[in-house]
């Protein structure tokens, strides 16, 4: 199948390179607002065609699947446009700016009999899948703490008075929508949807959240998740149960090794293959698409919709309002 890519940033390049590892897919074309930038990206990504007109891009019958790696606020509109043109879609995280938009996309994909995915690496991580199998070994879970602190290269631009879209509410930016979405998927993939969500955050003067603590409340546990884009830290997830604990090294964004520690044993697990960051995700998506496995797609979309509901509750509690929410 042929993949068309919207966006020319680093994450789009990673997806294009993953196409070289997955037999079933070919990075066919890319859309860019300027030909010069698109051509430079295409040369580096080994892509055949460059488009600067979105209508021409989405009307190309040779493109089967569209990957959207544009600013967050554009995800919904570009995905909707692609679906209306009969293209199945992979949307880079976060899925949309809010649950309302996400639900509309899911409904439209089903109406058009097309495939729709959120690009969420952890859903396809072999380590994370093994963790889900092993978690019962530490007994009833009492505490979970997730930390993901990563100083953004764009933060200096913000301090210098510039307005990078990843740090504006206009473009649905901020720590919650970037690093926070990984932690949300990590938690809901293990424990399902929380009853209550509260987000305590630090905001820039423009209203965007730079970082904060997300509190997810369940019937039998309270989970805390810390994320920030203006500082670095020791990133790890700790899951504590009555019989022991699990430590996931490196945060929540997928492919991370983990250790299980109980009175009887200490074991370390890392079962990932040698593929690139997007290899497992792209391979799974291509298999689902090729086999027309709508049940597998629906399972993934269920978590994506839960994640967007959690995002909406977090934003409401913190007084964060995106342009797309109005």
In whole angstroms, give the CA distance from residue 121 to residue 279.
9
Residue 279 host element (H or E): helix 279-291
**pTM, whole model, 2 decimals?**
0.96
Q: Which CATH number fits domain 2-120+279-292: 3.40.50.720, 3.30.830.10, 3.40.50.300, 3.40.50.2000?
A: 3.40.50.720
DSSP 179: I
Average pLDDT, the chain: 96
Residue 99 host element (H or E): helix 99-112
Taking only the tens place, the pLDDT of each residue in 193-220 is 999 999 999 999 999 999 999 999 999 9
pLDDT for 181: 97
Say if residue 11's pLDDT is above 90: yes
In whole angstroms, give the CA distance from residue 240 to residue 217.
16
pLDDT for 220: 93
Taking only the tens place, the pLDDT of each residue in 39-63 is 999 999 999 999 999 999 999 999 9
pLDDT for 133: 97
pLDDT for 287: 97
Taking only the tens place, the pLDDT of each residue in 240-253 is 999 999 999 987 88
Residue 68's DSSP bridge partners are 6, 91
In whole angstroms, give the CA distance from residue 69 to residue 81.
14
Taking only the tens place, the pLDDT of each residue in 254-313 is 789 999 999 999 999 999 998 899 999 999 999 999 999 999 999 999 999 999 999 999
Say if residue 170's pLDDT is above 90: yes
pLDDT for 253: 84
Q: Mean of the pLDDT values across residues 175-195? A: 97
Say if residue 320's pLDDT is above 90: yes
**Closest C-alpha among 31, 30, 23 to residue 1:** 23
- Spans of all domains in the chain: 2-120+279-292, 123-275+306-325
3-class DSSP assignment, residue 119:
strand
* CATH code reported for the domain at 123-275+306-325: 3.30.360.10
Number of CB atoms found within 10 A of residue 138's CB? 19
Asked if residue 58 lies in contact with residue 29, where contact means CB atoms within 8 angstroms, the answer is: no
DSSP 271: -
In whole angstroms, give the CA distance from residue 145 to residue 181.
15
Look up residue 109 and give its two tokens: 């994909």
**Closest C-alpha among 281, 245, 308, 305 to residue 109:** 305
**Positive or negative CA dihedral for 281, 283, 272, 21?**
negative
Q: Mean of the pLDDT values across residues 83-97? A: 98
């Amino acid at each position: 199948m042929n993949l068309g890519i919207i966006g020319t940033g680093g994450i789009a390049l990673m997806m294009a390179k993953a196409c070289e590892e997955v037999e079933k897919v070919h990075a066919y074309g890319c859309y860019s607002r300027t030909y010069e930038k698109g051509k430079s990206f295409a040369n580096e990504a080994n892509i055949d065609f460059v488009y600067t007109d979105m209508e021409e891009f989405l009307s190309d019958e040779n493109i089967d699947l569209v990957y959207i790696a544009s600013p967050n606020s554009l995800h919904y509109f570009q995905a909707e446009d692609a679906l209306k043109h009969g293209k199945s879609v992979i949307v880079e995280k976060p899925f949309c700016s809010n649950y309302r938009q996400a639900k509309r996309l899911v409904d439209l994909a089903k109406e058009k009999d097309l495939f729709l995915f959120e690009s969420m690496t952890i859903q396809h991580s072999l380590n994370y899948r093994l963790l889900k199998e092993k978690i019962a070994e530490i007994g009833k879970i009492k505490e979970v703490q997730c930390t993901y602190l990563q100083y953004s290269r764009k933060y200096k631009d913000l301090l210098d008075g510039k307005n990078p879209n990843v740090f504006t509410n206009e473009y649905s930016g901020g720590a919650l929508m970037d690093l926070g979405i990984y932690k949300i998927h990590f938690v809901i993939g293990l424990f399902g949807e929380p009853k209550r969500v509260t987000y305590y955050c630090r905001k820039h003067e423009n209203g965007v959240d730079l970082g904060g603590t997300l509190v997810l409340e369940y019937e039998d546990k309270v989970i805390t998740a810390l994320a920030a884009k203006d500082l670095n830290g020791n990133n790890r997830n700790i899951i504590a149960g009555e019989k022991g604990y699990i430590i996931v090294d490196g945060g929540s964004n997928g492919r991370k090794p983990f250790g299980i520690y109980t009175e009887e044993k200490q074991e370390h697990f890392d079962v990932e293959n040698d593929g690139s960051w997007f290899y497992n995700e792209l391979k799974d998506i291509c298999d689902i698409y090729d086999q027309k496995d709508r049940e597998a797609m629906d399972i993934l979309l269920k978590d994506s919709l839960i994640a967007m509901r959690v995002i909406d509750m977090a934003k409401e509690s913190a007084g964060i309002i995106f342009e797309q929410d109005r």
